[in-house]
Amino acid sequence: MKTEARHAVCSGSFDPVTYGHLDIISRTAELYDHVWVAVFLNNSKKTMFTAEERVELLEETTADLPNVHVATFQGLVVDFCKQRQIGVIVRGVRAVSDFDYELQMAQMNYGLAGVETVFMPTNPLYSFLSSSLVKDAAKWGGDISAHVPDTVATRLIERFSTE
């Protein structure tokens, strides 16, 4: 019996990608045949890195995961899923507050397009980690090496040194 390839998506702004993001992406890559990392484009949100830079950083940091693909999207994640026949959105959940928000989104996504959401608890090492905290720490010269890959840390340091 032939089975269809299983596809999942991990979506977000990834500004910048952290070890927390990479943990969820790599764990998802172990469970699904193809994982799409969908970088959200939102013109009303000011990001530190351009969409192209975020894609580049994600491609670099997931290069060891052959079943991971990176793309940008604008609009609804369920539309991204429909275009690529993806039936599952995987979301990392750090705390109850994340779950409250993510559950509402999951129910909306299912209602809009029948796309399921799988909640993956974050690794406790990264339960406090967010891109915003990393940027704040980097801005003030904090050591972010435990929170982001070297290539991301270098880019953050460069970005803040030119401000």
The annotated binding site for ATP is made up of 13-14, 21, 92-94, 102, 126-132
Query: Which residues contribute to the annotated binding site for substrate?
Result: 13, 45, 77, 91
Is the peptide bond between 121 and the residue preceding it cis, with omega within 30 degrees of 0? no
Interatomic CA distance for residues 49 and 131, integer angstroms: 12
Query: Which residues contribute to the annotated binding site?
Result: 13-14, 21, 45, 77, 91-94, 102, 126-132
> DSSP letters along 20-42, please?
HHHHHHHHHHHH-SEEEEEEE--
Residues marked active site are found at 21, 45, 94, 131
Interatomic CA distance for residues 143 and 140, integer angstroms: 9
